[in-house]
């Protein structure tokens, strides 16, 4: 039996606009980083609409990728590649300064790996999201963001690039004509410039369920987020990330899913 393809917000239909928003029948896009060899994936999958699958560079393996993508197919969740530096020892969270050619190649290779598995399930690879240090560095570095975007465009110009809202990642991808999804975070706090509070700081993570839900609703309803300083800053929320490694990940996912679909 051929797995049923997920059609959410036009992700799997080239005739539709690849946009996100609560005007869609299924509600706002909820994405989650998966395939990182954690126990939560099966519990989280019912509450999300996009899965970012680790491609073995920061976590996971071909076996975990196949299992995760199979779960996504079962729950009709769109599948994207969660690409990273080759750095399992540090879970891809250590900044590296690689030549552009190396970054291009590592993005390309992970896309190839992920697409080979989605092809086995006869589903479309819909998006790409950098992980960890690669994500944060490219958000602030236009040259790095451009390299990633070029690799994506050369591989498949129909892929949607998930990037930090208001960042170089989004601007460089749009400059090259790629579709993008401005990403916001339910479980992370923000700085005045719209960047995420570094994980090294005590207040980087949001661990209260209601606080996470309130932040998400503020971003969706008002187009703003309150930084740790108390300043209200503008933000574009097209897809919401919930981290699978959070202590309350499943509880967060369920609560945010329910709150955004009322």
Q: Which of 159, 152, 155, 75 lies closest to 124, judged by CA?
A: 159
For residues 153 and 176, give the distance between their C-alpha atoms in angstroms, rounded to a whole number.
Answer: 8
pLDDT tens by residue, 33-79: 999 998 899 999 999 999 999 999 999 999 999 999 999 999 999 99
pLDDT value at residue 24: 35
Q: What is the DSSP string of 20-42?
A: --TTSTT-SEEEEEE-SS-S-HH
**CATH class belonging to 29-259:** alpha beta
pLDDT tens by residue, 199-219: 999 999 999 999 999 999 999
DSSP-based three-state secondary structure for 54: strand
pLDDT value at residue 225: 98
Q: Kindly report the pTM of this predicted structure.
A: 0.89
The 8-class DSSP code of residue 166 comes to T
Q: Where are the domains of the chain?
A: 29-259
Tokens for 185, please give them: 């975070």
The number of residues in the chain equals 262
pLDDT tens by residue, 90-142: 999 999 999 999 999 999 999 999 999 999 999 999 999 999 999 999 999 99
Q: Report the chain's mean pLDDT, rounded to a whole number.
A: 90
pLDDT tens by residue, 174-194: 999 999 999 999 999 999 999
């Amino acid at each position: 039996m051929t797995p049923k393809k997920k059609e959410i917000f036009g992700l799997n239909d080239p005739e539709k606009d690849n946009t996100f928003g609560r005007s869609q029948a299924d509600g706002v896009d909820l994405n989650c980083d998966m395939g990182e060899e954690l126990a939560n994936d099966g519990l989280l999958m019912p509450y999300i609409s996009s899965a970012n699958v680790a491609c073995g560079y920061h976590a996971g393996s071909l076996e975990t990728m196949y299992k995760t993508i199979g779960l996504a197919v079962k729950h009709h969740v769109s599948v994207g590649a969660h690409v990273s530096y080759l750095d399992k020892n540090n879970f891809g969270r250590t900044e590296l300064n690689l030549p552009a050619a190396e970054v291009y190649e590592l993005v390309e290779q992970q896309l190839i790996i992920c697409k080979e598995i989605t092809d086995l399930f006869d589903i479309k690879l819909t998006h790409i999201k950098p992980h960890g240090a690669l994500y944060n560095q490219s958000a602030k570095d236009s040259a790095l963001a451009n390299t990633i975007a070029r690799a994506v465009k050369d591989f498949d110009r129909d892929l949607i690039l998930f990037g930090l809202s208001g960042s170089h990642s989004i601007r460089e991808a749009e400059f090259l004509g790629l579709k993008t999804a401005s990403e916001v975070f339910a479980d992370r706090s923000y700085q005045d410039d719209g960047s995420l509070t570094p994980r090294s700081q005590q207040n980087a993570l949001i661990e209260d369920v209601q606080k996470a839900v309130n932040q998400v609703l503020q971003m969706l309803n008002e187009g703003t987020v309150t930084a740790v300083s108390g300043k209200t800053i503008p933000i574009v929320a097209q897809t919401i990330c919930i981290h699978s490694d959070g202590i309350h990940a499943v509880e967060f996912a369920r609560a945010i899913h329910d709150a955004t679909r009322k």
